Structure 1
């Protein structure tokens, strides 16, 4: 969901951030991640998973995940002044629905949500790495 949100609701919608280095940061992280992920899935389906691809799937996230998250957060942060100035996607009162929405505040809340969510997902992946790669190492030991 964060990829759709960052791609459409931030980067596409706020043209001024499209040339930010932070966009390149998350796009590179996402691209490498997807190449590894789909290689992993493909070779797994073929029942011929090279250890290098398994290792890459459960190791490179250590750098790629923080890199992607940093790019995402920096891009949202760069979009904030433009969102505030333009009132992008915001709905002000009064209106016939008696409802208001401030996209600027929403973006700040999204950024804050990374604080509890990122460590939980990152440590889950570290746990998965330990489980999957240590299991592989046990099978590689000569008896």
Structure 2
């Protein structure tokens, strides 16, 4: 969901951020992650998982997760002034639905949500890495 959100609700909607280096940062992280992830799934389905693919799946996230999250957060941050100025996707009162929505505040809440969520996901992957890669005899049967 975060990828759809970043691509459509930020990068597509706020044209001014499309040339930011942070967009390139998260796109590179996502691309490398997906190449590794789908290679892992493909080789697993074929019952021939090379250890290097398994190792890459459970090791390269150490760099790729922080890289992707940094790019995402920096991109949202770069979009904030443009969102505020244009009142993008915001709904003001009064209106017939008696409802208001401030997209600028919503983006700040999204950014703040990374504080509890990112460490939890990252530590989960560290745990998975330990669990999966701690059995060296396991990888011999796939080689």
Q: Which structure carries more relative contact order (alpha carbon 8 Å, separation 6+)? A: 2
Check whether TM > 0.5.
yes
> Where do 5+ consecutive residues of structure 2 fail to align?
none
2:87 matched residue in structure 1: 87
**Post-superposition shift, 1:140?**
5.8
Verify the 8 A CA contact 2:33 2:64 in the aligned structure 1.
yes
Aligned length: 140
Q: Tell me the SS of whatever aligns to 2:5.
A: helix
Dislocated runs of 4+, deviation >2 Å? 138-141
**Post-superposition shift, 1:138?**
3.9
> Where do 5+ consecutive residues of structure 1 fail to align?
none
For 2:138 and 2:108, the matched residues in 1 are separated by 47
Q: Tell me the SS of whatever aligns to 2:134.
A: helix
For 1:43 and 1:103, the matched residues in 2 are separated by 42
TM-score w.r.t. length of structure 1: 0.96
1:134 matched residue in structure 2: 134
Cα root mean square deviation, aligned: 1.0
1:72 matches 2:68? no
Residues 14-29 of structure 1: pairs in structure 2 closer than 5 A: 14-29=14-29
**Post-superposition shift, 1:113?**
0.1
For 1:140 and 1:113, the matched residues in 2 are separated by 37
TM-score w.r.t. length of structure 2: 0.96
1:60 matched residue in structure 2: 60
